Homo-oligomer: A and B are copies of this chain.
């Protein structure tokens, strides 16, 4: 990771401060599990800035990220830092009156994205985590062009971090930061199953 001076100063008509403060679209992809973990680590810094954080988990089950969710709820209630909202597709989105069908994941994903679009237009949060959001894109449940255009044209200073495998090329093109998590060695290779406190 470079620190300090960037190697290239683009001719984009922006001051250093304007360029520095451009909102980031980050994508964490690759085969290793650190993708979401690193996104929630980033969210700790955003929280400490007093930023409004919105987490949207595009996962089928509410089983995962229980540790992160509990921690961010505690942070949101701590009276320090920024407010935190945490929404899970797996339970039916909490903002929605009609609970989406358990079975219809595609419809649930579309409802989730529609809400995120509204919030981006309203500049509702400063920092969004769209966890496992690449899957509804990869599976064709959401229109990639719509997602990319919406993200590119989002108003104000809203940072967005998207996690998941198989991120579409158009999303990677639009991203300012793409990190790939690569497995070098994992306990599962030695026959060890995931364990509480480590994997969830």
Which A residues fall within an 8 A CB radius of B? 1-3, 5-10, 12, 16, 19-22, 24, 28-34, 36-42, 44-49, 51, 66-68, 70-72, 74-75, 77-78, 80-81, 126-127, 159, 172, 175-200
Q: With contacts A37-B37, A176-B192, A179-B182 known, what are 15 further pairs, Cβ within 8 A?
A: A6-B193, A16-B193, A24-B195, A30-B182, A38-B181, A45-B199, A45-B200, A46-B197, A48-B67, A74-B81, A78-B78, A159-B197, A176-B190, A178-B183, A178-B184
Rounded to whole Å, the gap between the CB of A171 and the closest CB of chain B is: 12
A35 to B8, CA, bound (A): 25
Sample (15) of A-B pairs whose CB atoms are under 8 Å apart:
A1-B188, A6-B188, A8-B190, A38-B181, A40-B44, A44-B44, A44-B68, A46-B198, A47-B67, A48-B71, A126-B197, A159-B197, A179-B182, A180-B181, A180-B184
Chain B residues closer than 8 Å to A33, beta-carbon distance: 1
- Asked if A187 and B192 sit within 8 Å, CB to CB, the answer is no
The answer to whether B20 and A47 have CB atoms under 8 Å apart is no
Please determine whether B48 and A66 come into contact, CB atoms closer than 8 angstroms: yes
What residues of B have a CB within 8 angstroms of the CB of A74 in the complex? Answer: 74-75, 78, 80-81
List residues of chain B with CB within 8 A of the CB of A32: 1, 179
